[in-house]
Amino acid sequence: METVVSVFADTILITLVLAFAAFGLAIIYGLIGVINMGHGAMLTLGAYFTWWSTQHGVPFVPSVLLSAIAVGAVGLAFEHIIIRHFYNRPFDTLLLTWAFFLVTTEVIKIVFGTDFRNVPSPVDGAIDLEIYRVPAYKTIVGAVSISIIAGTALVFFKTALGIKIRAMIQNREVASLLGLNIAVMYKLVFAFGAFMAGLAGGLIAPMYSIDPYMGNTFLVRSFFVVIIGGVGQLLAGTLFGSFAIGGLETVLALFSDQVIAQIAVFFIAVLILRFRPQGVFTGR
């Protein structure tokens, strides 16, 4: 019983954290079709900004928000200077965003150094469920994750802005003929994706030790989350993809060590990618 409860709680938390970490990627990939290989670096950047800011006495929550805004601004600048010229060449955007990762990682190393950094957890302790103690901070991040994803989905499906974005995805040319400024929409979506990555990076910072490559752990997993959930399926797809990846990892880690569990998950993810390239969740 104890194991069941703990696996259940762990799976839910890992699913939500992973969904949050993947969300920025899901937005950029799903809405404007850019494979953002710099996503991991954006997470890392968010974590470092948060660390730097808390080191300088700013409380945790404003630190995370400021970091997210800063990463969003970096994303906006990157989009404006480079990416916007390459939207019709997907392979080149892939390479350019990878170059963004390389450059950002090196800048991080030069500015912040390569030592491991830690952000003290703003909320200590655990929620006692009698048979299992759920870590409190992870639970809060999980709750933030689900609210933000649901909130974004609400904007996406229930507001005028959401209709514009959906119109843009369905048919870029027609949407632009109807008076939609596609260039601005793309810019906004890219910056919002970067903002989300920064936010996730800042929030997960207290759970991990921070190093210049920490985002890479999430990069490939995030891709699989998006692909398995179905590209463009922001709400259900991201959650389901994270559940598949995170849940599998938790369950497999019961029977073997962590590394082998991860190898197995990637292996299974490639199998899914092959047999359901449109994603498990999409009915197409």
Partner 1 sequence: MTMQVQHGGHVAAASSRGGWMGGEDLAAMVVFGLLAAIPLVTSGYAVYILPQYMLLGLLAMSLVILWGYGGIVSFGQAAFFAIGAYAMGLVMKHAALPINSAYLGILAGVAGAALVSLLIGHFLFSAGVRSTYFVVATLALSIIVEQTVKSFSDITGGWNGLYVDRMTLTLGPLVQLSLFDDMPMYYTVLAVVVPIYVAVAALMRARFGKIVVGIRENEDRMLALGFNVPAYKTLAFGLSGLLAGLAGALYATHASFAHPSNAGVLFSTQVVIWVAIGGRHSLLGAFAGAIVVASLSNYLSSIEAIQEYWPLVQGLVFIAVIVLFRNGLAGVVESLFGKKRHGRAA
Q: Is 115 in the site for partner 1 (CB under 8 A)?
A: no
- Spatial contact of 40 and 218, defined as CB atoms under 8 Å apart: yes
How many helices and strands (H and E) does the chain possess? 11, 2
User: Any contact of residue 146 with partner 1 (CB under 8 A)?
Assistant: no
How far, in Å, are 79, 110, 134, 199, 212 from residue 66 at the CA level? 20, 21, 28, 9, 19
DSSP state of 83: G
Q: Which positions from 46 through 85 interact with partner 1, judged by CB under 8 A? A: 82, 85
Closest listed residue to residue 229, CA positions, set 181, 163, 263, 278: 278
Is 17:171 a contact under the CB 8 Å cutoff?
A: no
- Measured from the CB atom, the residue of 91 and 255 that comes closer to partner 1 is 91
> Which residue reads 């991040």 in tokens?
141
Stretch that binds partner 1, among 10-18, 137-145, 234-242, 270-278 (CB under 8 A): 270-278
Closest CA to 205 of 255, 143, 141, 260: 141
Contact status: 134 vs partner 1 (CB under 8 A): no
| Shortest reach from residue 206's CB to partner 1, in Å | 26
Residue 206, sorted as left (phi over 0), alpha (psi -120 to 50) or beta, turns out to be alpha
Assess 143 for contact with partner 1 (CB under 8 A): no
281 makes contact with partner 1 (CB under 8 A): no
255 binds partner 1, rule: CB under 8 A:
no
Binders in 171-210 for partner 1, by CB under 8 A: 172
Q: Which stretch binds partner 1 (CB under 8 A): 103-111, 118-126, 151-159, 233-241?
A: 103-111
Q: Which residue has the tokens 């514009």?
A: 164
Which residues ranging from 17 to 36 are in contact with partner 1 (CB under 8 A)? 33, 35
Shortest Å distance, C-beta 112 to partner 1: 13
Closest to partner 1 by CB, 111 vs 184, is 111
Angle CA(218)–CA(90)–CA(212) in degrees, nearest 5?
30
Give the footprint of partner 1 on this chain (CB under 8 A): 33, 35, 82, 85, 89-92, 94-96, 98-99, 102-103, 106-107, 109-110, 172, 216, 220, 223-224, 227, 257, 259-260, 262-263, 266-267, 269-270, 273-275, 277
